[in-house]
């Protein structure tokens, strides 16, 4: 792959970056052309805010080109709606090949969640314990193209609820299963039947693959495949707006006396999400972490 590097004045940097992306650039980054020189000027905004300008006096626009892209044609297409643009000195440079997936994955190592859960990415499979420790589970996880590396606070909150509060021999529905991490944890903690549902076919497949890798049984499917039935525990780690829309359905899947666990909710959203479920069961904050909450409730 190649990059086109343009020397660009500050007043043009932001608008030209947008135009280059619209013209077909894979990415555009803005760098200080005077970096590490006496002319370098840091950008500052008010405390807690962005700087007023998003560029320096002199900038390098680093434009990543798709294979086969003519850089001059791309630049001409981006500049067609601009008037009186100064000459933009530019050069091309090669981008060394790299396995970006593995480079990204290497940033994520094993993650301990509380005292009872260890999440081990599949690219660190050699660190899986030879034998499980008492009262502790190790989950080998490959997110694939699904959401869920196990690193987000909402995932930790749901995992810790499962570790601390999951009733024995429960049936569990994980709605919005993503990589399947919650469903797999529920099975490892003794659930007798676990169902994972997601609207994304890649997430359904990711859940199946991860369940197989961890030697547990999870029935994963798209929403249309979910048959009638009630569950002892329903867990949904999504976002507040979908959770409010899904309130009648999710609450309706909890058996009388069963538990509903919701996360993906910011602390400021907790009250309105709880209000959406109030006609069916009372919800309250079980735990909060880093601005996120886990809501829990028992169906009368």
pLDDT more than 90, % of the chain: 64
In this structure, of 53-57, 63-67, 100-104, 267-271, the range with the lowest mean pLDDT score is: 100-104
For the segment 108-130, the average pLDDT, to the nearest whole number, is: 84
d(CA 161, CA 277): 19
In this structure, of 87-96, 99-108, 192-201, the range with the lowest mean pLDDT score is: 99-108
Cβ atoms of 31 and 62 within 8 Å: the answer is yes
For the segment 104-119, the average pLDDT, to the nearest whole number, is: 81
For residue 228, pLDDT over 50 is answered with yes
For residue 283, pLDDT over 80 is answered with yes
In this structure, of 42-46, 121-125, 154-158, 249-253, the range with the lowest mean pLDDT score is: 42-46
For the segment 266-294, the average pLDDT, to the nearest whole number, is: 96
Q: 199: closest CA among 220, 172, 182, 184?
A: 220
Residue that wins the pLDDT comparison between 44 and 106: 106
Rounded to 10°, the helix 10-23/71-79 angle is: 110
Question: pLDDT confidence of 78, banded at 50, 70, 90?
Answer: very high
Residues with Cβ within 8 Å of residue 56, at least 6 apart in sequence: 10, 13, 32, 33, 34, 41, 43
Note the pLDDT of residue 147: 55
In this structure, of 10-14, 74-78, 270-274, the range with the lowest mean pLDDT score is: 10-14
Q: 244: closest CA among 283, 288, 215?
A: 283
Q: In what order do the strands lie in the sheet with 111-113?
A: 111-113, 117-121, 137-141
pTM of the model: 0.67
For the segment 212-216, the average pLDDT, to the nearest whole number, is: 95
Residue that wins the pLDDT comparison between 111 and 103: 111
Question: pLDDT confidence of 50, banded at 50, 70, 90?
Answer: very low
Residue that wins the pLDDT comparison between 41 and 26: 26
For the segment 174-199, the average pLDDT, to the nearest whole number, is: 96
| CA angle centred on 273, ends 224 and 258, rounded to 5° | 65
d(CA 299, CA 282): 7
For residue 98, pLDDT over 80 is answered with no
Note the pLDDT of residue 99: 60
Place of tokens 């979910």: 226
Note the pLDDT of residue 43: 55
250 exposed, middle or buried (CB, 10 Å; 0-12, 13-18, 19+)? buried
Cβ atoms of 160 and 184 within 8 Å: the answer is no
Q: Cα torsion for 78, 81, 87, 91, to the nearest 10°? A: 0
Cβ atoms of 273 and 295 within 8 Å: the answer is yes
Domains of the chain are 2-97 (3.30.70), 153-298 (3.40.50.150)
Phi, psi for 88 (deg, rounded to 5): -110, 100
For residue 145, pLDDT over 60 is answered with no
User: Which residues are 93's β-sheet partners?
Assistant: 3
Phi, psi for 246 (deg, rounded to 5): -85, 0
Place of tokens 């972490």: 289
d(CA 134, CA 246): 37
Q: 291: closest CA among 265, 271, 272, 273?
A: 265
d(CA 36, CA 59): 13
Question: pLDDT confidence of 107, banded at 50, 70, 90?
Answer: low
Element (H, E) at 48: none
Cβ atoms of 198 and 208 within 8 Å: the answer is no
Residue that wins the pLDDT comparison between 280 and 49: 280
């Amino acid at each position: 792959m190649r990059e086109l590097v343009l020397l660009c004045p500050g007043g043009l940097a932001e608008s030209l970056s947008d135009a280059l992306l619209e013209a077909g650039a894979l990415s555009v980054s803005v760098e200080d052309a005077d970096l590490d020189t006496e002319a370098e000027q840091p950008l500052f905004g008010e405390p807690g805010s962005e700087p007023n300008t998003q560029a320096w006096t002199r900038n390098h626009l680093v434009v990543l080109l798709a294979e086969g892209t003519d850089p001059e044609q791309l630049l001409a297409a981006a500049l067609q709606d601009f008037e009186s643009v100064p000459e933009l000195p530019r050069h091309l440079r090669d981008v060394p090949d790299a396995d970006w997936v593995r480079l990204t994955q290497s940033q994520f190592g094993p993650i301990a969640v509380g005292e009872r859960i260890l999440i081990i990415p599949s690219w660190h499979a050699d660190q899986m314990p030879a034998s499980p420790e008492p009262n502790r589970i190790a989950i080998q996880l490959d997110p694939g193209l699904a959401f869920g590396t196990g690193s987000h606070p909402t995932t930790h909150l749901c995992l810790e609820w499962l570790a601390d509060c999951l009733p024995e021999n429960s049936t569990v529905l994980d709605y919005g299963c993503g990589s399947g991490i919650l469903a797999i944890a529920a099975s490892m903690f003794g659930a007798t039947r676990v169902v994972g549902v997601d609207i994304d076919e890649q997430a359904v497949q990711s859940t199946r693959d991860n369940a197989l890798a961890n030697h547990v049984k999870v029935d994963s499917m798209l929403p249309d495949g979910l048959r009638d039935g009630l569950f002892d525990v329903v867990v949904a780690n999504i976002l507040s707006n979908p959770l409010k829309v899904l309130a009648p359905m999710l609450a309706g899947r909890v058996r009388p006396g069963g538990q509903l666990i919701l996360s993906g909710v910011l602390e400021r959203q907790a009250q309105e999400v709880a209000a959406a479920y109030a006609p069916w069961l009372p919800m309250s904050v079980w735990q909060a972490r880093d601005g996120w909450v886990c809501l829990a409730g028992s169906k009368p």
